[in-house]
Amino acid sequence: MEFIRLINVLKQYDKGAVTALNNINLSIDRGSFVSIIGPSGSGKSTLLNMLGALDSPDSGHVIINGIDLASQKDLSDFRRHEIGFVFQLHNLLPNLTVQENVEIPLMDAKMSEKDKHRRALLFIEAVGLLDKKNQKPNKLSGGERQRVAIARSLVNFPSIILADEPTGALDTKTGAKVLDVLRFVHQTINATLIIVTHDHDVARLADRTIEIRDGQVINDYYNR
């Protein structure tokens, strides 16, 4: 079932001198796993920002679950409830423990503190770090910090998980573990998972690959 739709999305920078997205049209089904690939500067990260309501098109429409994002007065509220972000730089707060970092998205949630703790621990366990819940980020490896970031991005049960080069700073073995966690949680909560990557091996793990070049979709295919 169509869940995300982009209609003639145009995004330019430097007063029109740079076209990041050139009238892109896309449809993505609910619960699917999609990879977006392309060279540096191709527009793939800009596309991810559109899907995550971090940026707005100059023209065209981004529609998620029937909602045109241009009609939303509070995009930060939309992001908080619908989107889970996983970036290459995990941006964990160094003075907080693993559990406290994961609980950050729940700060404004209408939940008891006990329920917040329970929810955070659920996802910390899902990423295999329950024994590290009281550790600070500087005591963790790069792969462990990325897994904490994944737990934090999922604690609100988002309908969409957006991951921008989630394995880019990791070695092959650690990157594979992080991808396994992403796929496991994506299947568990039936979220739509979209990964931006330059790595074709990572892209092939997705159900569908969208290739971007010069702000346009040049290839769109299913991997199985």
Query: Residue 26: inside a domain, yes or no?
Result: no
Total domains, the chain: 1
Query: Residue 203: inside a domain, yes or no?
Result: yes
The pTM of this model reads 0.89
Residue 38 banded pLDDT, cuts 50, 70, 90? very high
Query: Residue 52: inside a domain, yes or no?
Result: no
Residue 46 banded pLDDT, cuts 50, 70, 90? very high
Query: What is the tens place of the pLDDT at every residue in 93-121?
Result: 999 999 999 999 898 888 899 999 999 99
pLDDT, position 72:
86
In the chain, count H helices and then E strands. Answer: 7, 10
Q: Has residue 185 got a pLDDT over 90?
A: no
If one compares 81 and 48, the residue with the highest pLDDT of the two is 48
Long-range contacts of 132-135 (CB under 8 A, 24+ apart): 132/98, 133/97, 133/98, 133/99, 134/97, 134/98, 134/99, 135/97, 135/98
Query: Residue 189: inside a domain, yes or no?
Result: yes
For residues 142-146, give the mean pLDDT. Answer: 87
Query: Residue 5: inside a domain, yes or no?
Result: no
Domain enclosing residue 202, as ranges: 33-39+75-222
Query: Residue 54: inside a domain, yes or no?
Result: no
Contact 106, 155 (CB under 8 A): yes
